[in-house]
Structure 1
Amino acid sequence: MFRDAEIDLGPPLQQAIVAMLATRAGRVVTLGQLIQGLWGETPPASATQSVYTYIAGLRRAFEPGRGRREPPSMVSRSSGGYLLRLDPSQVDAHVFAARLDAAAQGGRSGDLDGALRDLGEALSLWRGPALSGVPGPFAESERARLEQLHLTALEARADTLLRLGRPEEALSELYDLVHRHPLRERPYELLMLALHGCGRQAEALTVFEQARSTLAEELGIDPGEGLRRAHGVVLASDERPAAPSRTVPRQLPGDLMVFVGRTRETVRLKSLLDPWGDEPPHPFVVICGPPGVGKSALAVHVAHLVRERFPDGQLYVNLRGGTPNVPRLSTHEIFSRLLRGIGTPDSSVPEDEDEAAALWRSRLQDGRLLLVLDNAADLAQVKPFISAPRGVAVLVTSRESLAAGDDCVQLRLQPLSDAEATAMLSKLVGADRVAAELDQTTRLIRLCDGFPLALRVAGARLIDRPDWTVGALTSRLTDERRRLRELESGDLAVRSSLAASWNALNGSARDIDGEAAHLLALLGLLHVPDVTVEAATALSGGAPFDVERALERLCDAHLLDPGEPGRYHPHDLVRLFAADLLPPGERIAPLKRTIGYYAQSTRAAALTSDPHRVHCLYPELDAQGRGFDSAEEARAWLRTEEATLLAAAHQAMADPDDDIARAGAGIGLALWWYQQGAYRVAGLISLGERLLATGARLGDQVITMEAHAHLATGLYLKGDWARCYEQHEGHLRLARLLGDRFNEQRAHGNLAGTLLKWDRSAEALEHALAQRVIAREIASGPGERYALLVAARACIGLGRLEEAVRTLEEGAAMADQAGDTLRQTEFAVARGDVLLELGRPDEALAVLTATLEPARAIGMKMTEVSCLVRLARACRLLGRTGEATRYSIEALVLAERMGSAYWLQRATEERDALAQRSVHA
């Protein structure tokens, strides 16, 4: 919010206080207003103390050199609140509003150039979403207010450009506004007038229809006065003479008897080809998508629905752009077919391509004709046919994106939904057969990726084999090695459909097409849900820019789906097809690079997210990974990539190449702390079991030793203490065998933690003390801190409370000195626990209240739920029933979300104790 310097404003709630003070710069904001702005109507009991803490943090951030006795000059206390001593001209939000007011004044006085300058200055201050990441009711309200101001400024700039006679400069931004705010009428109105000013009347009318249908579908209202007025302006300049009669072709293929679904897509296409009132159809409409997604079927279906709108006929040409082993039609062949279709004798079709084009255009004048061009190879193949006279519509299907074409409206077709696919199979093979095995039908749909072609083939297989159940076919498709072979029936085959798209790229003379084809073959090596540019760069060994171009080219060819920026997703059928493209001898090097990239990046993320933990960096790898600038960035990357990392780890550890398997183990071992903090019970167990198998297969005792600890953690979180104890014993046995003193003390600590949960506090204390002896011997600070934590908890379990207090104080001091946030919060929770046992709930409440937010911030769910249960107990003992209820409910919800039987029981016990207290009150 401050323009002259960058300052670290601290945690999100502290940033929210800055926002409140800066928005009212130079004025007092009361303590009550700050609390309400942060937490609304239900602030925590510690709200006042928290505000004091945040104010102190801001003062340190604004004036780091201020002495302890020197009064603050930036944030001062005044009249029951706080005042930020800042001129409003130093706050972007105030300057933005002032420039917007000046622009409005300029517009009213006729100074349009000045108004445009003011709007430009205002919009130059915008840096993205207002108060991004700042929490609280005030931030939400202020964010909404500023977003509305931003929209007003964008619309005002577009309006000013129109009044200055510069409509073309407003188009790009108006298209973006319409896309981002489809229920706001003003951008539609301005866009229509801008298109009208550029002489693009048909597009302007299409925009009106888009607005009308969107408002009707979403809000159930008609266009407002502004939109209707703009519509009238466009219509007034759009007179059209009646078309003469001519030969009427009816060339559409038959509509499918089992066409189902695609309701939204059908409505959208109909609104373009058969618009409301007397508006002309959109001249160039494209249905694009991957092979087998049903583009041609939808085009033919919609063409039949709108054919009455085209009284001069409907023409259809298969351009063969996606037909295997058949050359695509040339431009002259297409013109010849079209001319003959409208009644031109063969002898009158010119041999010269340009003459044929001229004759085609002249025959189209004043006609109302629908032209369906199916299976276009690319934009170049259809470009000569899309500049048709008004009243003629061209509907094209293609596996490529044709969005760069003039006046193109493109609909990207997605696979069928489960409901649509089920309806399709029911019509193909019978509703009774499908209904008898709905679960298997859903599996079949998923295995076919929801692609109509694959579903049609599957349906044909079931029709040919009436004795097969749906489950019988599903079991055959589950085997990835034979799935594409199973999806063949007669002339229908998924593999050949995909091959046509890949062969078109691989055989192209363009370098980018060849690079894309090779990259798809490499992507077939990876069994991961999606891939980033970085991972694809490691896979290919090329330059990031070239790799990103190749990925985008595959998206244009609809062999990949784009996700978030920089992330790409192949459908399973495409991945299975791609897996057979690369010769076996060329798979090892790219797979090593990629698995190595994942392993090194995971290690870097783990180290950066919490440098105070000891992370497993075994085995050594000759690979490059990515780095991270902050713990927040590292944690965000791990959250986003978790599914991909797990898939890559499992795939690599199953690989016959030992080096790849070892690198896959490196991914799994590096994920240990993240999975534990995120409470990934099933993931820890499955990964631990795979690591054990990999260590045994490779004869690698280090991997086996680490795998015991990994698997034990999952079993610990599951509450399976006996099996957990066995795994920790295996860890300890191998650590001693290898002479690994660090892992020996680590195993003692983990055994102690497990015994605590098993209510065997005396044995737990023995192991904790053994861990501390070794940790001190090898100077392992993390090990000694953990040993003290577990020893203190064991003392609590044994009723040795004063000893527990001394141990906690020693451990907390060590954690404070090291800056170990996780252990600081865990020592604080344990301190709250011992205070409760000592009968000092008021002190326990203060400690635990101050610990809850840090516990949440570090992302360790076990620490958070532990703190919540003890907070509920402290409040119950103090008679603060409302707060106790809130904390117990929060604990129950979190424990249920974690799937932890242990913490669910503890939270339930606390809730029941609270209910019992209410009964006796």
Structure 2
Amino acid sequence: MSEAITVRLLGAVAAERRRGSAEEPIDLGPARQQTALAILAATVGRPVPMDRLVAGIWGQDAPRNAEQSVYTYIAGLRRLFEPDRPRRAPSLLLAGSSAGYILRLEPDQVDALLFAEWLEEARRVQRDGDDREAERRLDQALALWRGTALSGLAGPFAEKERARLEQLRLAAQEQRAESLLRLGGHKEVAEELRDLTRHHPLRERARELLMTALFHSGRRAEALEVYEEGRLLLAQELGLSPGEGLRKCQEMVLSADAAAVEVRPAVPHQLPRPLAEFVGRSRELVRLKERLAPRDATPPGPLVIITGPPGVGKSALAAQVAHAAQERFPDGQLYVNCRGATPGVPALTPIDVLGRFLRALGVPPHAVPADLDEAAAMWRSRLHERRVLALLDDAADLEQIRPLLSTPFGNALLVTSRESMSWGEDAYQLELGRMSHAESATMLARLAGAGRISADAGETARLVRLCDGLPLALRIAGARLAGRPDWSVSVLATRLSDERNRLHELAAGDLAVRSSLTASHTALERGARPLDRLAARALSLLGLLHVPETTGEAAGALLGVPAPEAEQALERLVDAHLLDRTGPGRYQLHDLVRLFAAELRPQSPWEPLVRALSYYAASARLASHVSDPHRNQFARPVDATPHAIGGAAEAIAWLEDEEAVLTAAAGQALGSPDDTIAGLGVSLAFSLAWHQERFYRMAEKKALNTLALEVCRRLGDEAGAQLAHTHISNALRMTGRTDEALTHLQAALALARRLGDAYGEMRALGNLASANNSGERYGDALPWAERQLVLARSIGTRVGTRYALTAIGSAHRGMGRPERAREALEEALTDAVEVGDGVHEAQIRAGLGECRADMGEPEQAIPQLLRARELYAPGGHRIGTLRCLIGLSRAYRMMGDLDRARSAVAQAAASENGLGHARWARLLREEQAAVHAARRPSAPHGA
């Protein structure tokens, strides 16, 4: 009897009975009964007393009837293992004695015990120097694992035993890596070790082995990153320094000839151009340069901070000193505008800042960690043994830049901020005050001409006082004089003096900048040239839009003029230092000017805002349609001239470029109490739906459509509410929140039926099927898909018919019926190819490829999956691409082509990085494990 039973603990607890050449699974009953079996199986052949069983199952929370429950569990196990035993006959397999219960199995009938035995054998042959045999035995041992040990079981024994077995598993993986490294498999084992350290970052031995593998693969810089990441994690998590093994690995890497093993990335030079007319600040420049480039050649101060009120010249001074000190940083100079005080535009997050810097330092975009701590560790590793200066302009506060601090010595951070910051003894903080009279006059002379400034010293002094030494105010004043050669200094000073409140504001920090900006705006508004007046009007209208950038087209919509004329007005604002040019045809309000423009409150602001939002809504709708004409456009048409789109690729590129602007505009409009404006926000949100799905922008999609749902309810727009429910459900479905998605879809279905909207009802039925399929509830999905198919055919919608057939195929495949799935999918494919619907064709071919693999026909699966991937590529469909790569890996693996399988699954891992989709992350892990297991040879001789 005992020879016929196998108990498995290395995964979900399971048992099988062998009958002839076949194995049949044994249903082990409730979880606590499984725990009882696990306790007995861990000590086969030895008695386990009742008190140990109770303690292992419940611990301190054992109920009064715990022993009676154990009796019930033992009786249940006996019936399961010995179904033919006579009722009163003693159990031969699970015997009872005065010492406790004994499970009479051999150790090799319990996978956990067999694993430990093979692990010990591998250690023995490894000690004897036979690494090839050790690797073979370890592969066989690791192949016993099917997931997390004792998966799904709770209680003291399960938790303790799970941790013990996991430690054995990790030790086996490290032991295997040791043998592979000695056999020369450095590149092969590096990625496995990287995955191991990612999931167990505090295991120093795994990190040592990874460093060794990377070093011997010629990847010296990455090896040092691994060390630095480990050092920081040990210090932060455990308060410890690296052990001797890690330190020796670092010494090995550092002592090697860098030129032989590493090619350094291109040196970044990102500093903004210093002001050509920069004057003054000589004392501050000397003090700051001494911190960044000490005269005695000692390392620079790691953190230098410039603080002060808005408009005091922090950014200009920082750019000047950075250029003055750049020779001391030969490995690069980085720059980022942190947007800490940009009105209406969110500040960059720490991970945004780190991502920009890491990419500039040569990290491929897909390799930038999504986790903040990992990214910070990589940042510090990249700076190891280098000398880099990073200028972080307009930091919101210390928290925004904290992850970048504690950089290796030799590097420096130069930070500007409105906020004072306190950061230990390594930081140097300079509070920047107003410019002296002499410096202010010199700045004006540089801008407007020395002759004019010196012609009337009294009036010059008066103008300097009105500007209160603020460089921004002085710069604007000087620019106005330069643009009006017929004006004397007295004219401008008088204009500023006419505003009593302005004089008061000029002496009150932020208000000083506002008054200078008002003067510049007034000068344009009253200018003799029509272009000046148009520029003034443009500035007042730009304050209506809370978007990060603008273009000539958007400004033309605001102004109600052709785009070329609007762009000339924007260029005039650039000349007046009221607008920054961020790229060809793209403009951005300076942070302080943005605040000022928002306060101008032009007359009749409603019409310009509606025109601009209509332009955005019409353009987004058109781009969405052109990017994929086969997708239904949810947004209603808008009466506006959209941005001209040449083709699908151009449409996708435009949506990518404008995504931040369109999202911000939609959010602003949806928050408006005005019904027309809010309605345009709904249109914008709906127009972005396909783009957000294509690039997996689910958080943004859910947020915008949640606002859209509130607006539609307020407006009594049930058709719009139905669509908003649909979009919210799609975002929830694609992030694994199936139950919430179904709730919104039921609401959409109810609305469609109440409105008599057959198409909307059909769409809701299909989405209910899709949500259930995504949640792996295939039995629930099939009836919804079949109902959609009936309705789609009755109303004559081909796209709905294809969608329903695709969902039917997915449901059948999920229920283990690939032949029936293939029938539905092939019917859908014929139609998709006929109408040229590339997205549906890609989805269907991916499903057909998976079905062919399920049917044991990997050779037939591969052409389908390759074609699907090809179709997905132009649109940037991230999940579709990931799906195809996982399917290709599986098909190649089934054919025994493990090189191609490894390549496909590695590409899949790169594609999945940062996606954050739980289901596809799980499917990827399973395929990675399967590829890994497929490489293992058969069991050791005599095992």
Give 1:811's aligned residue. Answer: 828
Determine whether 1:558 maps to 2:577: yes
- Relative to structure 1, is the Cα distance of residues 571 and 316 closer, same or farther in structure 2, using a 3 angstrom cutoff? closer
Match of 1:644 among 631, 649, 661: 661
Note the C-alpha offset of 1:653. Answer: 1.0
Alpha-carbon distance in 2 for matches of 1:798, 1:329: 82
Note the C-alpha offset of 1:714. Answer: 1.0
Match of 1:762 among 761, 779, 782: 779
Give 1:591's aligned residue. Answer: 609
Determine whether 1:318 maps to 2:441: yes
- Relative to structure 1, is the Cα distance of residues 667 and 777 closer, same or farther in structure 2, using a 3 angstrom cutoff? same
Note the C-alpha offset of 1:498. Answer: 2.7
- Relative to structure 1, is the Cα distance of residues 508 and 760 closer, same or farther in structure 2, using a 3 angstrom cutoff? same
- Residue 734 of structure 2 aligns to a residue whose secondary structure is helix
Alpha-carbon distance in 2 for matches of 1:528, 1:686: 17
Give 1:609's aligned residue. Answer: 627
Give 1:188's aligned residue. Answer: none
Note the C-alpha offset of 1:494. Answer: 3.1
- Residue 863 of structure 1 aligns to a residue whose secondary structure is helix
The residue type paired with residue 559 of structure 1 is L
CA RMSD of aligned residues (A): 4.1
Give 1:541's aligned residue. Answer: 560
Alpha-carbon distance in 1 for matches of 2:816, 2:282: 81
Q: Is the 8 A contact 1:524 1:578 kept in 2?
A: yes
Note the C-alpha offset of 1:812. Answer: 0.5
Task: Provide the aligned length of Structure 1 versus Structure 2.
Answer: 509
Note the C-alpha offset of 1:487. Answer: 11
Match of 1:376 among 454, 463, 478: 478
Match of 2:807 among 790, 814, 831: 790
Q: Is the 8 A contact 1:765 1:794 kept in 2?
A: yes
Alpha-carbon distance in 1 for matches of 2:268, 2:864: 54
TM-score, length-scaled by structure 2: 0.50
- Relative to structure 1, is the Cα distance of residues 810 and 257 closer, same or farther in structure 2, using a 3 angstrom cutoff? closer
Note the C-alpha offset of 1:591. Answer: 0.5
Alpha-carbon distance in 2 for matches of 1:646, 1:491: 29
Deviations 1:332-373 (A, max 9, x none): 6624669x99xxxxxxxxxxxxxxxxxxxxxxxxxxxxxx99
- Relative to structure 1, is the Cα distance of residues 298 and 376 closer, same or farther in structure 2, using a 3 angstrom cutoff? farther
Note the C-alpha offset of 1:918. Answer: 2.0
Alpha-carbon distance in 2 for matches of 1:884, 1:810: 29
- Relative to structure 1, is the Cα distance of residues 488 and 853 closer, same or farther in structure 2, using a 3 angstrom cutoff? farther
- Residue 376 of structure 1 aligns to a residue whose secondary structure is helix
Alpha-carbon distance in 1 for matches of 2:321, 2:438: 14
Match of 2:865 among 829, 848, 866: 848
- Residue 521 of structure 2 aligns to a residue whose secondary structure is helix
- Spell out the pairing of 1:8-23 with structure 2 (5 A cutoff): none
Q: Is the 8 A contact 1:291 1:501 kept in 2?
A: no
Alpha-carbon distance in 2 for matches of 1:845, 1:295: 56
Alpha-carbon distance in 2 for matches of 1:491, 1:375: 16
Alpha-carbon distance in 1 for matches of 2:815, 2:594: 58
Match of 2:648 among 615, 631, 637: 631
TM-score, length-scaled by structure 1: 0.51
Give 1:463's aligned residue. Answer: none
Alpha-carbon distance in 1 for matches of 2:867, 2:563: 46
Alpha-carbon distance in 2 for matches of 1:559, 1:746: 49
Q: Is the 8 A contact 1:842 1:878 kept in 2?
A: yes
Note the C-alpha offset of 1:847. Answer: 2.3
Note the C-alpha offset of 1:499. Answer: 2.5
Alpha-carbon distance in 2 for matches of 1:611, 1:884: 35
Match of 1:773 among 767, 786, 790: 790
Give 2:719's aligned residue. Answer: 702
Give 1:517's aligned residue. Answer: 536
Q: What is the identity percentage for the equivalent residue pairs of Structure 1 and Structure 2?
A: 36
Note the C-alpha offset of 1:759. Answer: 2.5
Give 1:569's aligned residue. Answer: 588
Deviations 1:817-853 (A, max 9, x none): 1111111111111111111111111221232223322
Alpha-carbon distance in 2 for matches of 1:374, 1:621: 40
- Spell out the pairing of 1:715-734 with structure 2 (5 A cutoff): 715-734=732-751
Deviations 1:111-133 (A, max 9, x none): xxxxxxxxxxxxxxxxxxxxxxx
**Uncovered stretches (5+) of structure 2, i.e. residues with no partner:** 1-266, 270-278, 295-309, 326-436, 462-473, 487-491, 493-503, 939-943
- Residue 936 of structure 2 aligns to a residue whose secondary structure is helix
The residue type paired with residue 535 of structure 2 is A
- Relative to structure 1, is the Cα distance of residues 722 and 263 closer, same or farther in structure 2, using a 3 angstrom cutoff? farther
The residue type paired with residue 897 of structure 1 is G
Deviations 1:556-614 (A, max 9, x none): 1221111221111113332121011124x511000111111111111111111111111
Q: Is the 8 A contact 1:318 1:373 kept in 2?
A: no
Alpha-carbon distance in 2 for matches of 1:262, 1:329: 30
Q: Report which structure shows greater RCO (CA 8 Å, sep ≥6).
A: 2
Note the C-alpha offset of 1:912. Answer: 0.8
Q: Is the 8 A contact 2:311 2:592 kept in 1?
A: no
- Residue 689 of structure 1 aligns to a residue whose secondary structure is helix
- Residue 919 of structure 1 aligns to a residue whose secondary structure is coil
Note the C-alpha offset of 1:917. Answer: 2.1
Alpha-carbon distance in 2 for matches of 1:373, 1:789: 64
Note the C-alpha offset of 1:315. Answer: 8.4
Give 1:858's aligned residue. Answer: 875
Alpha-carbon distance in 2 for matches of 1:592, 1:824: 39
- Residue 785 of structure 1 aligns to a residue whose secondary structure is helix
Alpha-carbon distance in 1 for matches of 2:286, 2:512: 19
Note the C-alpha offset of 1:292. Answer: 4.7
Note the C-alpha offset of 1:382. Answer: 11
Alpha-carbon distance in 1 for matches of 2:551, 2:848: 45
Give 1:738's aligned residue. Answer: 755
Alpha-carbon distance in 2 for matches of 1:491, 1:801: 68
- Relative to structure 1, is the Cα distance of residues 259 and 666 closer, same or farther in structure 2, using a 3 angstrom cutoff? farther
Q: Is the 8 A contact 1:672 1:710 kept in 2?
A: yes
Alpha-carbon distance in 2 for matches of 1:853, 1:897: 22
Q: Is the 8 A contact 1:555 1:561 kept in 2?
A: yes
Note the C-alpha offset of 1:878. Answer: 1.3
Note the C-alpha offset of 1:762. Answer: 2.3
Deviations 1:418-458 (A, max 9, x none): xxxxxxxxxxxxxxxxxxxxxxxxxxxxxxxxxxxxxxxxx
Alpha-carbon distance in 1 for matches of 2:268, 2:754: 71
Alpha-carbon distance in 2 for matches of 1:333, 1:487: 21
Note the C-alpha offset of 1:258. Answer: 8.1
Alpha-carbon distance in 2 for matches of 1:851, 1:496: 60
Alpha-carbon distance in 2 for matches of 1:491, 1:847: 63
Give 1:529's aligned residue. Answer: 548
Note the C-alpha offset of 1:319. Answer: 7.5
Determine whether 1:663 maps to 2:713: no
Q: Is the 8 A contact 2:692 2:701 kept in 1?
A: yes
- Relative to structure 1, is the Cα distance of residues 545 and 321 closer, same or farther in structure 2, using a 3 angstrom cutoff? farther
Note the C-alpha offset of 1:320. Answer: 8.9
Alpha-carbon distance in 2 for matches of 1:321, 1:650: 42
**Uncovered stretches (5+) of structure 1, i.e. residues with no partner:** 1-215, 219-251, 268-289, 306-313, 342-371, 385-398, 400-484
Alpha-carbon distance in 2 for matches of 1:264, 1:740: 70
- Relative to structure 1, is the Cα distance of residues 259 and 728 closer, same or farther in structure 2, using a 3 angstrom cutoff? farther
Match of 1:883 among 900, 904, 908: 900
Give 1:334's aligned residue. Answer: 454
- Relative to structure 1, is the Cα distance of residues 642 and 697 closer, same or farther in structure 2, using a 3 angstrom cutoff? same
Alpha-carbon distance in 1 for matches of 2:268, 2:932: 49
Note the C-alpha offset of 1:758. Answer: 2.4
Note the C-alpha offset of 1:697. Answer: 2.1
Q: Is the 8 A contact 2:288 2:321 kept in 1?
A: no
- Residue 562 of structure 1 aligns to a residue whose secondary structure is strand
Note the C-alpha offset of 1:508. Answer: 2.9
- Relative to structure 1, is the Cα distance of residues 320 and 254 closer, same or farther in structure 2, using a 3 angstrom cutoff? closer
Give 1:34's aligned residue. Answer: none
Give 2:708's aligned residue. Answer: 691
